[in-house]
């Protein structure tokens, strides 16, 4: 079950955190994984590790905010294979309220999280529509459904991702294209470690435990757990699922609220 043998998958932000876990798992299940990353050296390093482990992967230097570059890379991939799967995982975070968020920060986060996702969908759909099938999986968040403090623009972008998912699913179901999204709560990634180091120097462990305890299940999720859900939703076994959001949150939405 959940084989991706013979399928081509594009994973944005696929060389770190949740994206890397997805890249590794998809490759282990037989997919040819194309990693889109701003940090090309990191993407190449991780793709080489996937190849050494017996998988197939290729690194691409892509700024997803640049539509022309996104189109160029996806068009090049399509020349040699179908575009079976697109995972829009790349994104950035920001801490602040509507009052404290600057215009510059608002534009920066919107540009990556919303426009970047749009660019990849916009570039992929023509190929998926022509071939008559495809799966798009977007990375939303629990903040699209539940308000949390000091995440104004980040929450705004993830709400947009949820709405975008529903729109694409509705418009393209007749072309055999499925579109869903995942909404994780807090997941222990290198980003979390960096966030704690930068914002709570000397109190990292205390704040980590506090953040972990905010999930009713008592811990943060792991990138591998998110990747497992992504694998299911992108596999043929999920062929009857489209237009859905999947919280994976340790009970955060339904139990806490």
Residues catalogued as catalytic: 154
3-state secondary structure string across 6-54: CCEEEEECCCCHHHHHHHHHHHHCCCEEEEEECCHHHHHHHHHHHHHCC
Helix (H, G, I), strand (E, B) or coil at 58: strand
Token pair 């534009």: residue: 107
The tokens of 228 are what?
A: 């497992």
∠ at Cα 237 (30, 53), nearest 5°?
20
């Amino acid at each position: 079950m959940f084989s991706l043998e013979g399928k081509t998958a594009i994973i944005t932000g696929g060389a770190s955190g949740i994206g890397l876990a997805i890249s590794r798992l998809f490759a282990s299940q037989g997919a040819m994984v194309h990693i889109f990353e701003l940090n090309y050296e990191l993407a190449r390093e991780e793709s080489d590790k996937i190849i050494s482990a017996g998988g197939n992967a290729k690194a691409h230097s892509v700024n997803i905010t640049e539509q022309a570059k996104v189109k160029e890379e996806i068009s090049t991939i399509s020349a040699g294979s179908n575009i079976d799967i697109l995972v829009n995982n790349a994104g950035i975070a920001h801490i602040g309220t509507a009052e404290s968020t600057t215009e510059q920060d608002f534009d920066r986060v919107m540009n990556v999280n919303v426009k970047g996702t749009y660019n990849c969908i916009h570039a992929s759909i023509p190929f998926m529509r022509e071939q008559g099938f495809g799966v798009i999986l977007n990375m939303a968040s629990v903040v699209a459904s539940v308000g949390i403090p000091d995440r104004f623009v980040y929450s705004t972008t993830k709400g947009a991702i949820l709405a975008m998912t529903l729109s694409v699913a509705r418009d393209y179901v007749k072309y055999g294209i499925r579109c869903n999204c995942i909404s994780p709560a807090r997941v222990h990634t290198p980003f979390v470690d960096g966030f704690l180091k930068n914002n709570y120097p000397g109190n990292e462990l205390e704040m980590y435990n506090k953040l972990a305890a905010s999930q009713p299940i008592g811990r943060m999720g792991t990138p591998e757990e998110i990747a497992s859900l992504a694998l299911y939703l992108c596999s043929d076994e999920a062929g009857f699922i489209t237009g859905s959001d999947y919280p994976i949150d340790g009970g955060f939405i339904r139990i806490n609220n």
